[in-house]
Structure 1
Amino acid sequence: MSELTYTSGVTGQVFDLDSKLSWGAANALRSRHWEYTLEYRGMSSPVRKAREVSVNMTIEDVDELDALMQAADSDVLLRKPGTITALSESGGVWRQRAVIVESSPQSHYRAPDANIDLTVLLMDGVWRRRLDVQRLWADALQPGLDLDYPHDYPHDYMPTVRNATVVNPMPAPMPFEMVWFGPVSKPQLTLGGNRYELDMDIPSGGYVTISSVEGEKSIILTTENGDMSNVFSKGVRTGGENGGSYIFQPIPSGELAAQWNGFGIDLTIIEEASEPQWV
């Protein structure tokens, strides 16, 4: 990792952890751990849970240290985790919610080589980064999509064909963020055998943002004038995950044909990994 920051969940302060306060290589952030249940000849229920890691921080600015500790205490006390951001050498930005719950000075703060051991809780159990946005264009933005003769015939001259695909480049299903743009009534999108559906109308100039990230699932309507409202209940969840019509169904791996009823969609796949990339 070439850059590392901690952003307080309470104050919003961003602390550079490669400068006056430095976590160095912070190799513990790259550690990985799965919990599982052993069976007769195998395992079951693999899961990545929140966990503790230890990092050593060198100190060049005591005022900056005091500000970090004050913000970290507020994050714990008010139960609003901060965010660690790690920028890999290839430019990928990885994030995980975290809190600093313990510190142990290894020298006097004003010593030339002052340093302190920290215990950090990684709250999500995984690191996440946003992949490139994939766009499914609204019919109105695709000239020629609905060409037809000026008179009615038994069959259309050119039936509506969108021929769009989306790609999850990861080998496993991944969560996502989708933005659905109005106007559209009861919008639907089918990918990989699952139907993503909202039982509502999205007005002209409005859009709905759907997040399927574990612990952060949400469906928010934003109207043309910027008003926001929670429309979580409008997401169809028939049968739950893998039930065939689940609004938060992870995006399967590979290239997937998309079928939808003509509205605009921005899809961002959220890559999850046990550790940030090394490059």
Structure 2
Amino acid sequence: MHRVRYEPGTGLARDAAELDGPLSFIGTGGGLRTRQWEYALGYRGISGVTRGAREVQTELKATSPDEAARLRHVFDRDVMAGTPGSIVVDGEWRTSAYVVGSEPGTIYGAYLSTTLKIVLVDGVWRRWHTESFPISVPQGGSFLDLPYDLPYDLAQPAPVTSLAGSDWFPAPVRIIVYGPASSPELSIGGNRYSFDVEVPDGGYLVCDGLEHTIKVTGPYGDVTDAFASGERGGGQGSGSYCFEPVPAGTSHVTWDNSFGFDVQWAEEEGEPPW
């Protein structure tokens, strides 16, 4: 059975709603599993293909009027604040959403059912993956001197030089560079990600290809907008675009080994797993 959870965009984490019982549950959540592309019809084809925000409906059942009222407040607060919550399936797949309405169904004692109208803001579900690329000691050097009189030490593990992406589609990516780093640059699958900025010791840079933002956080938590530092070349597909999605399959990764970094990429689907 899949676990479904609504995490509010405003308020506290304790306000989250478990939607798989016992106080409230949506069953299979059929409406959440609808999938829809937007497109324009053309001559023998389609164009402008995208997945945007869309409305879906799914039934919610509750065994407690108090819990139903609490959920209504949680949902409405997010809508009023303009801050979408997240619907999370299996603790991994998530999408941003507003619950914008409900239509009552069965009401019997403490039991009630209602059909929720939900706006899926992203139009897709995402599951994030992370691969780390730490600074590596040059091969041939000693890595760990054992406290025994042995004719060998432990060798440095082989550095990670590849990234296993989605099996099917290019994926949006976040690159996190850890300082100190001066004008860090790296390559994934033939695309160069370059940033003309200083990342201080104890700080880090985040280039978010989903939000198209670049920010540097200092060692004391101060955040600087570094959008102008990212090289954008001729845009996506040019070979030097800092927001380039990572390609499907396995990609070769290169950098000068003067800094460590993480690559986070988002697996995207039109519907959560069954």
By the TM > 0.5 criterion, same fold?
A: yes
Work out which of the residue numbers 7, 19, 26 in structure 1 matches 2:29.
26
Gaps of 5+ in 1: 148-160
Q: Report how far residue 238 of structure 1 moved.
A: 2.1
Q: Secondary structure at the match of 2:106?
A: coil
Q: Secondary structure at the match of 1:245?
A: coil
**Who is 2:146 aligned against?**
none
Q: Report how far residue 260 of structure 1 moved.
A: 1.2
Q: Report how far residue 119 of structure 1 moved.
A: 0.4
Aligned partner of 2:208: which letter? S
**Who is 2:85 aligned against?**
82
**Who is 1:70 aligned against?**
73
**Who is 1:275 aligned against?**
271
Q: Report how far residue 56 of structure 1 moved.
A: 0.8
Post-superposition Cα deviations, 1:45-90, rounded to whole Å, max 9, x if no partner, equal 2111111111111111222211111121121112111110011xxx
**Who is 1:265 aligned against?**
261
TM-score (norm 1): 0.85
**Who is 2:204 aligned against?**
207
Matches of 1:146 and 1:227 in 2, distance apart? 37
CA contact (8 A) 1:163 1:257 kept: no
Q: How does 1:245-260 map to 2 (within 5 A)?
A: 245-260=240-255
Matches of 1:145 and 1:178 in 2, distance apart? 29
CA RMSD of aligned residues (A): 2.0
Q: Report how far residue 99 of structure 1 moved.
A: 0.5
Aligned partner of 2:203: which letter? G
CA contact (8 A) 2:133 2:160 kept: no
Aligned partner of 1:271: which letter? E
Work out which of the residue numbers 112, 125, 128 in structure 1 matches 2:126.
128
Q: Secondary structure at the match of 2:170?
A: coil
Counterparts in 2 of 1:21 and 1:162: CA distance versus 1, 3 Å: closer
Q: Secondary structure at the match of 1:24?
A: coil
CA contact (8 A) 1:178 1:265 kept: yes
**Who is 1:226 aligned against?**
221
Work out which of the residue numbers 14, 26, 29 in structure 1 matches 2:16.
14
Counterparts in 2 of 1:145 and 1:68: CA distance versus 1, 3 Å: farther
TM-score (norm 2): 0.86
Q: Say how many residue pairs are matched.
A: 255
Post-superposition Cα deviations, 1:230-266, rounded to whole Å, max 9, x if no partner, equal 2222222222212222111000112211121221111
Matches of 2:110 and 2:67 in 1, distance apart? 16
CA contact (8 A) 2:188 2:254 kept: yes
Aligned partner of 2:228: which letter? S
Work out which of the residue numbers 184, 190, 204 in structure 2 matches 1:193.
190
